[in-house]
Structure 1
Amino acid sequence: MERHLDDWVMSYAAELGPAAPRAAASRWVATPSGARLAFVGGAVVKLHRAGTDRGALEARLTAVARSALATVFVPPLSHRVAAAPDGSPVTAWPEVAVLDADSEIPWAEIGRLLARLHRLPVDPGLPDHGAVERLRRALERARGLAGLADRTLLVQLGERLLREAHEERRVRERAQRHTTSVVHGDFHLGQVGQWDGDWRLLDVDDLGVGDPAWDLGRPAGFWAAGLLADADWARCLDAYRDAHGPAVPATGDPWPAIDLPARAAVLVAAVRTLSRELDNEDTAGALLAACRRM
């Protein structure tokens, strides 16, 4: 990382006040989406990925700051989008403990948290959620997986899922059955952290309005792929329903409502896993097997 960028990040973090004390050095982490996180003192300074729509990001940050979204998201350290020396949009957040696969996962709390999000009033300033756009980016990444035996399968599957996503939205809108909620847009375990003793959501990059079923896609898809235990999926789904989450019917088979988001989440995760060349062969194998079944 260029020294001038590191200096800029530390200077920016120092301006954020006591929530981000000065530090002698910063620690950088690259995310799968292409963003870069700098950990400085108590702050996480996020340099957003290339191609980020600054106007949409500002609208999302403003919504979190001014609406009931502040009750479900970890609050930002600044309510403005800054600009790094290279022009990257920058946001700043407190550093919090985040869930991962090795944590004891509070699936019931996660279900209730998502239901709370989906029942909030829709902020008129929010853009559409970014889950379908993430699917499009995964398709482009799949096209670049040269030499991979399953590349053609993943590309064809991605193209089909993208067509289905656009068609489903058109059908729902024509039939006036389009469920519109506030949607996280990129929900997975790494987007949940502890704040003031409560579980809160992280990352506003894909926050927006649309079908809330997309936020259940990852746990549903991983359950279908054999990567999430039956009991864990049941705890999440039951708690979501008990909290009157609108993404699925209150009773009966939830799958018709979440089938497409679940398949899309598996495809996105498979492409990410393969493009990052991770060593977890079991996960990669299960995701690819699920893609082949589709």
Structure 2
Amino acid sequence: MSNATTSRILALTAVTAAGCLVLAGCTNTPVASSPTPTASGPVADPVASSSPSPSTASDETVAVVQEYLAAVQDERFVDAFALLTPESQALVGSAEQLASSVGIVRPEEAIGFLGTDGVIASGVGPTEDSTLVTAVRDRRADAWLVRSTTEGLRIDDAGVPPTGGTPYEWVNPPIGAEEGDGAAAFDVDAPASITFTDLSQDAGVEGPGLVGYPQQLSAYLGVSKVGAEAASADTQRRWDIALDAAQLGADTTPLTVVWEVEPGSNKWRTSTAAVWVQ
């Protein structure tokens, strides 16, 4: 092979190598491909954007709540009752009583939460085996505690009887008793607050009742825990929840309180107010 031929081969090899470097290093560094676009589904992402990589456990708890909402939506209260924790089943009594309870999600609300405008999110609950799942649509919000039981994941959603004294009510936002409208603007000049009445002081009432008079309470704005402070007066206890107005806006955010009816009973309850500022 002549020197001229050798020079031409070396030159060609150098050009080829340089070309590989320009083209993302040839096979050593693969060229990134454009992501394949995915079509948006008819139902909103079940986990809020604050949790972009939900765990399998979060997916499962959201799925249980969605199943529960679907049962309520179709007024299949026997199926909905079966998805409650044993403790909530004991508080409710039966599927028929669940259907008539005040404070549980109603069919028209379930339809909205499961629809394209509904947003369902999940976060850490007050105990190691619990998850708080929230749902929002328009000016409606609700939340459920999902816990591990011997039967699998189950939901705490007991409601209260449609008659009798009102054991608790929201003061700010001023939605009133549990059977109230459920939608009112939040007063940013005062803390969020909910009051409980000690019904055990009434004649003929013994023990903690169906709701209790909580000495401990956990509060959540969305799925993030926030502080709550109690102030008692005679037979009523008010829990104040300090909210940062900068975290709120015209969009609805669920504000949820979670408590145990009696310490050690494992009977958990939640109450949720839809919070927004005008």
Q: TM-score, normalised by structure 2?
A: 0.27
Query: Which entry has the higher C-alpha Rg, 1 or 2?
Result: 2
Q: TM-score, normalised by structure 1?
A: 0.26
- 1 or 2, which has the higher strand percentage? 2
- 1 or 2, which has the higher helix percentage? 1
Higher relative contact order (CA 8 A, sep 6+): 1
